[in-house]
Amino acid sequence: MRHLLDTKTLSREEALRILDVAEDMRDTQSREIRKLPTLRGKTVVNLFFEDSTRTRISFEAAAKRLSADVINFSAKGSSVSKGESLQDTAQTLQAMGADAVVIRHGASGAPHTLATSGWISAGVVNAGDGTHEHPTQALLDAFTIRKRTFGDDSRGRDLEGLSVTIVGDVLHSRVARSNVWLLTSLGARVTLVAPPTLVPQDVSAWPVRIAYDLDEALASGPDAVMMLRIQLERMTAAYFPTEREYSRRWGLDAERLAALPAGSIVMHPGPMNRGLEISADAADSPRSTVLEQVANGVSVRMAALYLLLAGERTDTTAEEDAR
Ligand code: NCD
């Protein structure tokens, strides 16, 4: 794997390979010594032009547990705020010997530009670009669904026959987009539920079912319900009357939680607006996988970095390396 830019062009086989390597990585994380020597001597640069806590820390932990050197570069307080272009920043990183660049950027397509520009030779991982994609988030979500469904029997399995309902601010969500492509390519049925104002215009071309009534959608008993954050910072207009009205119609509260079948899980990529799209009861219930998603995120990002940076070595597997 040369880059990880999106899930739309990721094949089912490539996705399963990442998820299976992530299983190996996860196994190593329950050991007393969690650090593997695999990426010793490699440099991973975290290039964050947008605020992030969990994703940046997750990539940092993943790279460090594989023994890579990590350079964190956030655009605030850097020359970028003095107007330095993506090209100049990239070329500086190249001169410093970056082997992989993990980029988060407010502009959709920035990681793709970086990967195809010829400015750098490093592998590029998209950590969220505008409203476009967030592939490692979708991979950790798929990993979490698979793990909750099949447990120790997860390796090699796809999500055929499972149904996932994604609820909320689909319009502004790169998490929703990446999940739609990935989950459907793994065989899951995806339903999107949102107010009509938060449904993207091009959604008719997506392999999903659209619904506007949350109670009706939940009545079909989805295996996973994924709540999206209302992205107030990306909203330039009033997309719903009031926050109270939004939670009443599209929020996951105790009552809706109780109506779900016993096995259904509740997901959220974080950060959560507690009391808006998800109530505290739902966020903290045993069905909630919010913290599992965070933990699995490290394993999935370890897998992605491993496949990007050590992938050319076909003589060893992640599992052998981990011994
Ligand atoms: C998501 C993001 O940044 O797209 N969060 C994350 O990666 N942890 C979702 C969000 O911000 O709502």
**pLDDT digits over 181-229, tens only?**
999 999 999 999 999 999 999 999 999 999 999 999 999 999 999 999 9
Which CATH fold would you assign to the domain 135-293?
Answer: Rossmann fold (3.40.50)
Question: What residue ranges of the chain are covered by domains with CATH 3.40.50.1370?
Answer: 12-134+294-321, 135-293
Q: What is the pLDDT of residue 311?
A: 66
Q: What is the pLDDT of residue 51?
A: 85
Single-letter code of the amino acid located at 269: P
Indicate left, alpha or beta for 120 from its phi (over 0: left) and psi (-120 to 50: alpha): beta
Burial class (CB in 10 A: 0-12, 13-18, 19+), 30: exposed
pLDDT in tens, 293-314: 999 999 999 999 999 999 654 4
Say how far residue 244 (Cα) sits from the centre of its chain: 28
Residue 293 CB–ligand 1 contact under 6 Å: no
Distance 51 CA to ligand 1 centre (A): 10
Q: Flag whether pLDDT at 320 surpasses 80.
A: no
Confirm whether pTM is higher than 0.85: yes
Q: Quote the tokens at residue 186.
A: 């793994």
Nearest atom in ligand 1 to the alpha carbon of residue 128 is: 4
Q: Flag whether pLDDT at 129 surpasses 70.
A: yes
Closest Cα to residue 25, out of 317, 320, 293, 319?
A: 319
Dist CA 191 CA 276 (whole Å)? 21
Q: Flag whether pLDDT at 321 surpasses 60.
A: no
CA torsion sign for 150, 155, 161, 166 is positive
Distance 270 CA to ligand 1 centre (A): 6
Architecture of domain 12-134+294-321: 3-Layer(aba) Sandwich (3.40)
Q: What is the pLDDT of residue 81?
A: 65
Q: Quote the tokens at residue 208.
A: 């999903």
Dist CA 128 CA 121 (whole Å)? 20
Residue 55 CB–ligand 1 contact under 6 Å: yes
Residue 137 CB–ligand 1 contact under 6 Å: yes
Cα torsion at 266, 277, 301, 86 (round to 10°)? Answer: 160
Q: What is the pLDDT of residue 237?
A: 81
User: What does the pLDDT average to over 236-248?
Assistant: 92
Residue 175 CB–ligand 1 contact under 6 Å: yes
Residue 128 CB–ligand 1 contact under 6 Å: yes
Q: What is the pLDDT of residue 315?
A: 45
Q: What is the pLDDT of residue 74?
A: 83
Residue with tokens 């949102």: 194
Single-letter code of the amino acid located at 14: E
- Rg of the chain on CA atoms, in Å: 19
Distance 174 CA to ligand 1 centre (A): 8
Nearest atom in ligand 1 to the alpha carbon of residue 52 is: 3
Distance 269 CA to ligand 1 centre (A): 6
Dist CA 323 CA 321 (whole Å)? 6
